Amino acid sequence: MELKLLDNKKKKHPLRYIALGVVFFAFLVYAVYYIASVNSQISQKQAEYDALQNEIEIQEIKNSDLEHVLNYSDEEYLDYVISKARNDLDYVKQGERVFVNSAGD
């Protein structure tokens, strides 16, 4: 009789196991894709952060240079203004010759 009881138990359908395996595999693929996507976003944001940090450092250096300009004497300030006008704004003194490189180099 014991043998008959064991045979009468319902056998689980193998299709359930296959479906469960497919669902688990799909979830695993999605999880790996999502993690890779998040890591990519983290890398991108880290690069943006580093670029902003570099810009901040450059601006701090410019600010400290301008703070030194505030302490210049009149003669030093005049020299500073003239150098800025020549270098940054491309101004020339009256009577100076201007040469333009037409080669584009």
Domain-located, residue 19: no
The answer to which of 7-11, 15-19, 22-26, 34-38 has the lowest mean pLDDT is 7-11
- Residues of the domain holding 79: 37-93
pLDDT at residue 90 in the model: 83
Q: Report the percentage of the chain scoring pLDDT > 70.
A: 88
pLDDT at residue 1 in the model: 47
| Cα angle, residue 29 at apex, residues 27 and 33 outer, rounded to 5° | 115
Domain-located, residue 25: no
Q: Are 80 and 68 in contact (CB under 8 A)?
A: no
Domain-located, residue 2: no
Q: Are 23 and 30 in contact (CB under 8 A)?
A: no
Domain-located, residue 63: yes
Specify the number of domains making up the chain: 1
The pTM assigned to this predicted structure is 0.53
Domain-located, residue 74: yes
Domain-located, residue 102: no
